[in-house]
Amino acid sequence: MGSETLALICGLAAAASFGTGDFCGGFATKRSSVFRVIVISQLFGLILLTGLAVGLDEPIPSGKSLFFGGMAGFCGTGGLTALYIGLARGHMGIVAPLSAVVGAVLPIIIGIFMEGTPPGAQILGLLLGICAIWYLAGGSAASLHPRELGLAVLAGVGFGFFFIFIDQVSETAIFWPLATARIVSITMISIFIMARRQKKATPWSHQLFVILLAGVFDAAGNILFALASRLGRLDIATTLTSLYPAGTVFLAWLILRERLTGRQWFGVTVALAALVLIAS
């Protein structure tokens, strides 16, 4: 099996893992504080990544790699914070898909700049993949306030640079840089929680297993994306990984019996066409 095929498999597996993690995290936040769920799930992810690094005897990488891992955590956390603020204050049906599209487009541009232009069929696949991300996440043409636009773009930029920085460290190490990203993320969100000075803590212990799953699948998604970007191109790995809304939508349909809209079914069709072109 060639490296490009393995990169394709890892990218799709990363999307499925991120989608499952988002579903578990979203399910847990229905009854628990969003930011506490993030901190606890990130902590579980940190334990998992550290255990894998030690268990597989991965050498501690250079300071440069750890720095990039920390920057990935900083950007990813900033993007996540902007996303949740945007979802709380604006149109969810626009903020979420727009942030996902921006988060995919930025690494695609960087990937083309660093690795050259891919074949024509793959370029078309990347474009279709971007369209699929929008439709899968439920994007619509409703009016958008400038503040909502700014938060969505800020979230997308944060996610995009997370992918870019992880790509920079995946050549030399995977687990330690990702663990560093988790440490930065946990620290940032913990500071944010303390700054809000919530007097009453939201109960979360009854959601512990679901939060654990969110952390495990999120960490697995990070690992699989790092492998996909190592084995293949950054732009293709990012596009495939960014199809993660499909996993969230599928689980919501399967477990919560939520109906898929015509727009989301169209997104599934476009995503399948994009996969065929990217794999060609």
DSSP character string of 155-206: HHHHHHHHHHHHHHHTTT-SHHHHHHHHHHHHHHHHHHHHHHT-SSPPP-GG
Q: For residues 44 and 25, what is the distance between their CA atoms, to the nearest angstrom?
A: 13
Question: How many angstroms separate the CA atoms of 12 and 170, rounded?
Answer: 17
Q: Please name which of 180, 159, 249, 161 lies closest in space to residue 42, comparing C-alpha atoms.
A: 180
Q: Which amino acid is at 150?
A: G
Instruction: Provide the pLDDT for residue 153.
Output: 86
Predicted TM-score (pTM) of this structure: 0.85
In this structure, what are the phi and psi dihedrals at residue 61, rounded to the nearest 5 degrees? -75, 180
- Alpha-carbon span 147 to 189, nearest angstrom: 22
Pairwise CA distance, residues 262 & 133, whole Å: 14
Q: What is the SS3 assignment for 90? A: coil
**How many structural domains comprise the chain?**
1
Domain that holds residue 46: 3-278
Contact (Cβ atoms closer than 8 angstroms) between residue 274 and residue 12? no
Task: Write down the H helix ranges in the chain.
Answer: 3-28, 34-55, 63-89, 92-115, 120-136, 146-169, 175-196, 208-231, 234-241, 245-255, 262-278
**Using CA atoms, how far apart are residues 112 and 123, in angstroms rounded to an integer?**
10
Q: What is the pLDDT of residue 139?
A: 61
CB within 8 A of 104, min separation 6: which ones?
129, 130, 133, 160, 238, 239, 242
Q: What is the pLDDT of residues 31-75, one digit of tens each?
A: 777 788 888 889 999 999 999 999 999 988 888 889 999 999 999
Nearest one of 77, 88, 123, 60 to 218, comparing CA atoms: 77
Q: How many CB atoms lie within 10 A of CB 254?
A: 10
Query: Comparing C-alpha atoms, which of 259, 236, 255, 269 is closest to residue 12?
Result: 236
Q: Which long-range contacts (CB under 8 A, 24 or more apart) does 190-194 make?
A: 190/39, 192/35, 192/81, 193/33, 193/35, 193/36, 193/39
Per-residue pLDDT of the chain (280 residues; tens, 9 = 90+): 677 889 899 999 999 998 888 888 878 877 777 788 888 889 999 999 999 999 999 988 888 889 999 999 999 888 888 877 776 665 555 676 778 888 888 888 888 888 888 888 888 888 888 888 878 766 655 555 666 678 888 988 998 999 999 888 867 788 999 999 999 999 988 888 787 765 555 555 677 888 899 899 999 999 999 999 988 888 889 888 888 878 877 887 888 787 777 777 887 888 888 888 887 6
Give the integer Cα–Cα distance in Å for 212 and 41. 6
Nearest-angstrom CA–CA distance, 235 and 164: 10
Supply 26's token pair.
């979203």
> Residue 177: its pLDDT value, please?
93
Looking at residue 151, what is its pLDDT?
82
